[in-house]
Amino acid sequence: MGFFRQHILSIVAFWPLAGMFVLMILPKDNKTLIRWWANLVVLSGFLISLPLWFWFDRDSTESMQFVERFSWIKALGADFHVGIDGITLLLILLTTFLGPLAMLSSWTAIENRVKEYYAFMLMLQTGMLGVFISLDFFMFYVFWEVMLVPMYFLIGVWGGPRRLYAAIKFFLYTLVGSVLLLLGILALYFIYPTIAAQHPEQFAQFGGAAPTFNILAFQAMAQYLPENFQWWVFLAFFVGFAIKVPMFPFHTWLPDAHVEAPTAGSVILAGVLLKMGTYGFLRFSLPMLPNATVHFVPMMMTLAIIAIVYGALVAMMQPDMKKLVAYSSVSHMGFVMLGMFALNPNGLNGSIVQQINHGISTGALFLIVGIIYERRHTREISQFGGLSTVMPVYATIFLIMTMSSIGLPLLNGFIGEFTIMMGAWQANKWYAVVGGAGIVLGAAYMLWLYQRTMFGKNENPANQKLLDLNWRELATLIPLIIVAFWIGLYPAPLFKILDKPVNKLVETIHPGYFKPDAPQNAKIQHAAGETR
Amino acid sequence: MGQFFNVQDLGAIAPELELMLFGMILLIADLLVEDKKWLGFIALGGTAWSGYFLVRLHGVEVSAYSGLLNIDQFAWFFKLLFLLAAALTIVISLKYLDIEREHHGEYYALIMFATMGMMFMAGAMDLITMYISLETMAIATYVLVGFLRGNQRSNEASLKYFLLGAFSSGILLYGMSLLYGIAGSTRFGDIADALDQRSLGDPISMIALVAIAAGLFFKIAAVPFHQWTPDAYEGAPTSITAYMSVAVKAASFAMMVRIFLGALSPLREHWVVILTVISILTMSVGNIAAMTQTNIKRLLAYSSISHAGYILLGLIAGNATGLTAIPLYLFAYTFTNIGVWAVVVALRRKDIIGEQVDDLNGLIYKQPTAAILMLIFLLSLAGVPPTGGFIAKYYLFAGLIESDHSKLAVIAVLNAAVSVYFYLRIVVAMFMKESNEKTGLALSPGIVFALAVALLFTLWIGFYPDPFISLAQAVF
């Protein structure tokens, strides 16, 4: 147990990869065996990641926990260095939680080249977990890029009719972003020894002026970086992460990739891959380049608001259910960015919680669309109507998830959006006002979708004998519903986990933010006093 | 005479002498041996034996033949590279030549001679030595390109390659004669001293620089001197294309580095500008032209052009990181590229020409292992981690950033991203298309061996590059 506890992050991350190697030697024609094996691997992967939740010390003053570190490429100073804080704890659990559900949803949907499919799914799982646990920038970059390959294949081999186009677009877009990200990383890497040499006492714990990719060392360097330098690195990071999020105007790959990807691919893509972009901002841009972050707030907020409104408007007009959900992702990720660049505790907390929520509700919506697609082989909204009569359970779950996506109180979406709105209001009330309009639009397109597909008369003969959910489909959706209600009713554990890292982040960006006499706090306390 | 030659100098060139000896043995054995496959094994033995001598010379730093040749880490590294490339080429040729029905002993002898020329090139510290070894390599290669006597394209390729090669050698020679005129000596060291004495804008030095650079750009196939490459690569026997794209290219780079960092080092300010322009052109034209190719040999030819552009970045950066990148890149590129070409060689089956990208369609159904290996090699060429190609590209880009060439770095990384497009076209064919015919690849034991070696090094450099980085760092 001691060994497990010490190496839990590596074990959690490489478990799916190990499972993949075993999968490779299974006979190709025994599809049932392959399916069982892959599902068992990710399910056990989820189970072995659960101790993280219990062992994670919420009150620890250490910035990272479960740290493991080995020397990897000595010539570069790159290490195998992993560790997590509250932010990554949640993202890792989201990944290991969505993995089994996505895997289970493909049981009957994937019929050809089953072995390869599951191999790529397992590889993808390791890639995503690797991104979140890396504390070494080089290692992070390797995982960040490696993960593109399995996703490319999932879209390109098992996708819809325009899969080749969508797959290459996905790959090229992301790659262009990531190579610029690499240049940003290199710029930090080369400035580090100079800065560390000037301030030996601060950097002694990171090994002094020796070249390193240590993310914590780069974060410690933030206050010494020249303003101008920060801007350029911020822009390089921005392209890399904004494409992944995706922020307007870099979002055009997303609808294509989502629509063409198989259901499980879309779930992972929306649920986890997009979070890698926001995670990049949280972990790198904000703490490493605080001055540039503050400087670019207007740009980021504007882009976030455009994404919210534009994504919602485009979603409203979509004739295809999956495309609608895809554009809703653009809108929701706009909220995440809005909260993040409010740069105050509420905004950041809400932003992170909303990332989890988006993974859950959008993941569920993609599963829901996938279920109807498997039955009818179409996703045209006009093909459906009155499904609630033949598929009552399906309709109920769809309703819950629609409400979760809209942000109805008692469900998870509300918690995230509300906290984000508080943060945005504190930063600048106009951001909150326009963002609020986005919530209304969000309600409009989701409810309209629900109304058109579920209510009315079931007139299309093809829809009259549709079967309701089977046990397997229920098993993929019920866990999501439970979590949606849990976060909606009792989100305190999440906020507790986020408390330390978020406060630290705010302190880096606005030094002295939590001092009682800080200007923005005086105003807030004044306001709070009045309401009291 | 003792001043010019002493017996120890023979020991310094033992690996080269060995190759020459085996080249001659092969020519004689060709008359006696019926099954030409054995000649291939003799040639392999030759490279191995030469390699043995080379390994014994490791760490030796001498100047032989009163300064005509240097035995140093730089030469040692490149010689090792050439021997490895030659050995892998021989291994992938064995069955291929049978299928082409052109299995002759001269083939192996010519590879021996060409490799010998390259090894002298890597050691040369003198214009005359450099030129003669260059021609030794080049003439042997011209013949090898036209080795498929019955094949018109092969003949055409050989002629084009020969004419343009001779032309570029002429230009190079012109530049060399000017350098001799300036310095009154053919030694790199003397030339550098003489150039140092002259003002930086001296017109004669400039003409010499431009002529030499143009000649070298022909040899490394840099844009706009690249037109011969697609034709020569397409027409040549595929195994020779593989050899050209790794060994000949590496040798030309060795020569370029020796001349630019040795003889022409005082003109650095000028040649950095020239190299920057050429490098941007080479990367971009190579990548853009590769996108539309349907013939896989031409596609890879353009890919190889763009890689030459990347390698030039190392010289432009000129700092320790950038210079380390050159040997590292060539090393990773050699193995990766041999892997890719081995698959293309295996595409040539009895009665199937197998040169189109479409010929790879559905490879995953027929030979999944080969398809996955090819995928790894292509990702390495594209510079996607965790492969050797990524580490090599990383070093290049790091060198640029470290030496404050940020704009060039942006152009370079965007090029690297764009190049993924055409590499993925091959991946699409292999994994996402249905196959047109039933026959799989013609995988001989030799090709399987080459693939295994290529995979081993591609991944080894990718996952644990430390030994290779120190190898590359020792070069300069």
Mean per-residue pLDDT pooled into runs of 10, chain B (476 residues): 64 88 91 86 92 88 82 91 94 86 86 94 92 93 90 90 92 93 90 88 89 92 90 91 93 92 89 93 93 92 93 91 92 94 87 82 87 93 91 92 90 91 91 81 88 94 92 87
- Structure tokens, A347: 């905004």
Least CB–CB distance from B385: residue in A146, A152, A171: A146
pLDDT of A519 reads 58
- Structure tokens, B361: 């369609």
Least CB–CB distance from B420: residue in A76, A172, A182: A172
Least CB–CB distance from A183: residue in B385, B401, B428: B401
DSSP-H helix ranges across A109-262? 114-133, 137-146, 148-158, 163-198, 200-203, 215-221, 227-244, 253-260
Instruction: Judge whether B409 is closer than 8 Å to chain A, CB to CB.
Output: yes
Instruction: Judge whether A24 is closer than 8 Å to chain B, CB to CB.
Output: no
pLDDT means per 10 residues in chain A (532 residues)? 86 93 89 92 93 88 87 89 91 93 88 90 93 93 92 90 90 91 92 88 83 89 89 93 90 90 90 92 91 91 92 91 91 92 91 92 92 87 85 90 89 90 89 87 90 84 83 91 92 89 88 71 49 40
Whether B92 maps to a domain, the answer reads no
- Whether pTM > 0.90 for this model: the answer is yes
pLDDT of B4 reads 58
pLDDT of A153 reads 92
Helix axes B37-56, B105-123, angle to 10 degrees: 20
Instruction: Judge whether B367 is closer than 8 Å to chain A, CB to CB.
Output: no
According to DSSP, residue A247 is labeled P
Least CB–CB distance from B417: residue in A141, A153, A179: A179
Least CB–CB distance from A75: residue in B410, B418, B469: B469
Interface test with A, best of B287, B380, B466 (most A CBs within 10 A): B466
What is the distance in angstroms between the Cα of B197 and the nearest Cα belonging to chain A? 35
Least CB–CB distance from A172: residue in B390, B409, B421: B421
Length of chain B: 476
For residue A320, the cross-strand partners are: A380
User: With contacts defined as CB-CB under 8 Å, which chain B residues touch A73?
Assistant: 464-466, 469
Cα B430-B435-B438 angle, rounded to 5 deg: 120
User: With contacts defined as CB-CB under 8 Å, which chain A residues touch B473?
Assistant: 75
Instruction: Judge whether A191 is closer than 8 Å to chain B, CB to CB.
Output: no
**Which of A238, A241, A262 has its CA nearest to residue A112?**
A262
Instruction: Judge whether A117 is closer than 8 Å to chain B, CB to CB.
Output: no
For residue B70, the cross-strand partners are: B63
Instruction: Judge whether A142 is closer than 8 Å to chain B, CB to CB.
Output: yes
- Structure tokens, B246: 């790794």
Q: With an 8 Å Cβ cutoff, are A186 and B364 in contact?
A: no
**Which of A282, A283, A337 has its CA nearest to residue A137?**
A283
Instruction: Judge whether B416 is closer than 8 Å to chain A, CB to CB.
Output: yes
Interface test with A, best of B432, B459, B463 (most A CBs within 10 A): B432
Whether B29 maps to a domain, the answer reads no
Residues in CB range of A173: below 8 A, 6 or more apart: A243, A250, A252, A253
Q: String of b and e for B423-442 (b: at least 16 CB within 10 Å)?
A: bbbbbbbbbbbebeeeebbb
Instruction: Judge whether B385 is closer than 8 Å to chain A, CB to CB.
Output: yes
User: With contacts defined as CB-CB under 8 Å, which chain A residues touch B397?
Assistant: 182-183, 186
Instruction: Judge whether B417 is closer than 8 Å to chain A, CB to CB.
Output: yes
Instruction: Judge whether B394 is closer than 8 Å to chain A, CB to CB.
Output: yes
Determine how many CB atoms are found less than 10 A away from the CB of residue B71: 21
H or E element at residue A384 = none
Q: Is the distance from CB of A496 to CB of A82 less than 8 angstroms?
A: no
pLDDT of B255 reads 92
What is the distance in angstroms between the Cα of A75 and the nearest Cα belonging to chain B? 6
Domain enclosing residue B452, as ranges: 267-476
Length of chain A: 532
For residue B59, the cross-strand partners are: none
Whether B184 maps to a domain, the answer reads no
Q: Is the distance from CB of B475 to CB of B396 less than 8 angstroms?
A: no
Q: Where are the domains of chain A?
A: 297-532
Least CB–CB distance from A176: residue in B364, B379, B414: B414
User: With contacts defined as CB-CB under 8 Å, which chain B residues touch A141?
Assistant: 385
Q: How many domains does chain B have?
A: 1
pLDDT of A517 reads 66
Q: With an 8 Å Cβ cutoff, are A190 and B401 in contact?
A: yes
What is the distance in angstroms between the Cα of B17 and the nearest Cα belonging to chain A? 36
**Which of A338, A521, A475, A345 has its CA nearest to residue A417?**
A338
- Structure tokens, A108: 């009957």
Q: Is the distance from CB of A391 to CB of A454 less than 8 angstroms?
A: no
Q: With an 8 Å Cβ cutoff, are B401 and A146 in contact?
A: no
Nearest chain B alpha carbon to A150: B375
pLDDT of B334 reads 93
Instruction: Judge whether B377 is closer than 8 Å to chain A, CB to CB.
Output: no
